[in-house]
Amino acid sequence: MTWQIALVFALLIGAMVGFAREKTSPDVIALSLLVLLPLTGVLSVKEAFAVFSNPAPITVAAMFVLSAALVKCGALDYLTSAFGRTAALPYPVVLFLVVAVVAFVSAWINNTPVVVVFVPVVLNLARRMGLPGSKFLIPVSYASVLGGICTLIGTSTNLVVNGLLVERGEPEFTMFELAAVGVPVALVGALYLAAAGRRLLPNREMLTAILSEEERREYFTEAFVPEGSPLIGRSLRAAGLVKARGFRVIEVVRDGVAIHLDPASTPLCGGDRMILACRPSGIAQARSMPGFDFTAEAGLEQIAAHEGVVFEGAVAPHSEIIGQSISELRFRQRYRVIVLAIHRGGKNVREKLETMPLQMGDILLMMGTPQAMDELRRGDDIILFDRPPLPSLSLHRRIPLVLATIAVVILAETAGWVPIELGAIGGAILLCLTGCIKPKEAYESIEWNLLFVIFGMLALGIAMQQTGAAAWLAQNVVAGVEHVAPATAKPIIMLACVYLVTMVLTELLSNNAVAALMIPIALGIAAEAGLAARPFVIAVTIAASAAFATPIGYQTNTYVYGIGGYRFSDFVKIGIPLNLLCFAVTLIVVPRVWPW
């Protein structure tokens, strides 16, 4: 082992630890690798920055745009509206249909927007069937993964592997090559979820369950601090208004502007207007507090549960509010609703909400007027769960153009007329030119952090190949298998090892990062053992996407984690058997379709 190999392994281990700890953004870690590799002399600057000539990340970006245009024009509205008619069917049948439909759609467009669109649909379906949403949400996420492994464009991981193959002179994937193993895996997965879902999926209440019946009936009212009030010069805490029973101070308006105040230190002034949220039993309590003037008492605005205005929503994957706190956003002024609680990581949070930076997939329990709720529904920052999204009627006439564009991209690649990267970019440009999606929306739909993860890990893959680290690892794997396995079983055992290592890494790291890391190793093992490379490449591609046992293994798992009120163990319980099923199907199918 040379010092270059040792350094590459050290950087690899450091990156894996950084990814797993989640203290630093994955794209920052990946870009750090891109800088450290030339700085340490492992790669030249030219070799490191050659990753930007790889077509895979650009293709992934273009596919994000095509997917966003398909969702934005409302093409899925017709499909999701049909789910309401299945509520009378038995649960296993309904779940199988849900998984099958979501998997089919995910085979053609990016997984994340598919899950975002279908979450309100299946929650509404669950409500009609009298079941908790937790009986459907994990299967929706899993279905998007299962569908994504069936086609070249189904997931960004497939495109990354394809780009690596082209870069190394290997035959690239055809559009439907992966379907030979992807379709059997998806079918087995759908049958397993339908059969085991009722027993293995938990009964989890959503965030509204933490509210009592009284808390679901609150009123907005205004209280003024008149001149001479004993509250003047005192903070909310000193005045006993922070922990008052039955009502809460939502906002303080001074000189017509909502001010940011510290409840412990900011003094109240004469003329301040306070917005209060009062429970029915708390109105009398608020009126009895000295120093208030309820001049607006006659105009109380009721916030009642039967009106549907205590509601939940998730922070959308591309929302501009990610990373900002409730107070920084001036949430009530911006959206005219108040946040009662936040669900994150399996926990309901009701304290210190104002200072908590929001993350993708955070579930917000909110209260507001029906008008404010409808206004929030029309935005792109928060996905509401009360009912399926409103149809995009104004854009429905563009559905044929979007579908035709995607069909041409698929046909051109399948027939070998145009490489997938040219077809995808051309399709994205056409949709922008025809107004199906605005350029700004196109840029916002791209997961730029994912692209930078891919670039960084591609650089590490090049370093493993250039330094001989991949070959060194491959030699040791092959030598180890030869010591313990008979000659006839060596190929299948090595294939199983490659699959299992990829699968375990994918549960902890980015699937695209794992694919970029494992492809050089898989090619090295095949070359060292004198076997065809294709079976090992296919195994890595499937295993890099088939992440079911943790909520962090795939972005869609993370997204439904909070929405369904799941615990980490829920994914382990239903995900590990599905991992093993996918492993078994892959080992059976791959050697028969792609011989050694």
Structural domain boundaries in the chain: 3-53+448-545, 66-74+395-446, 218-303, 306-384
pLDDT tens-digit readout, 173-207: 999 999 999 999 999 999 999 999 889 998 876 65
In this predicted structure, what is the pLDDT of residue 306? 34
In this predicted structure, what is the pLDDT of residue 114? 86
> Higher confidence at residue 554 or residue 299?
554
In this predicted structure, what is the pLDDT of residue 305? 33
173 Rama sector, left if φ>0, alpha if ψ -120 to 50, beta otherwise: beta
Res. 115 pLDDT band, cuts 50 70 90: confident
**Stretch 119-129: mean pLDDT:** 84
In this predicted structure, what is the pLDDT of residue 308? 36
Res. 304 pLDDT band, cuts 50 70 90: very low
**CATH architecture for segment(s) 306-384:** 2-Layer Sandwich (3.30)
In this predicted structure, what is the pLDDT of residue 392? 47
When mean pLDDT is compared over 145-159, 278-292, 510-524, the highest value belongs to: 145-159
**Stretch 41-51: mean pLDDT:** 90
Res. 557 pLDDT band, cuts 50 70 90: confident
Same fold, 218-303 and 306-384: yes
Backbone angles phi, psi at 222, to 5 degrees: -115, 140
In this predicted structure, what is the pLDDT of residue 268? 86
In this predicted structure, what is the pLDDT of residue 113? 82
pLDDT higher than 70, residue 343 = yes
Close Cβ partners of 588 (under 8 Å, ≥ 6 residues apart): none
pLDDT higher than 50, residue 508 = yes
Q: What percent of the chain is predicted at pLDDT more than 70? A: 86
In this predicted structure, what is the pLDDT of residue 300? 37
CATH number of 218-303: 3.30.70.1450
Taking the C-alpha atoms of residue 408 and residue 404, their distance in angstroms, rounded to an integer, is 6
**Stretch 276-291: mean pLDDT:** 64
Res. 350 pLDDT band, cuts 50 70 90: low
pLDDT higher than 60, residue 425 = yes
**Stretch 330-336: mean pLDDT:** 79
Closest CA to 224 of 259, 269, 185, 258: 269
Taking the C-alpha atoms of residue 187 and residue 413, their distance in angstroms, rounded to an integer, is 25
DSSP E strands: which ranges in 180-306?
218-224, 247-254, 257-258, 273-278, 301-303
Taking the C-alpha atoms of residue 246 and residue 197, their distance in angstroms, rounded to an integer, is 41
pLDDT higher than 70, residue 291 = yes
pTM to 2 decimal places: 0.78
In this predicted structure, what is the pLDDT of residue 318? 74
pLDDT higher than 90, residue 222 = no
pLDDT tens-digit readout, 258-267: 776 677 788 8
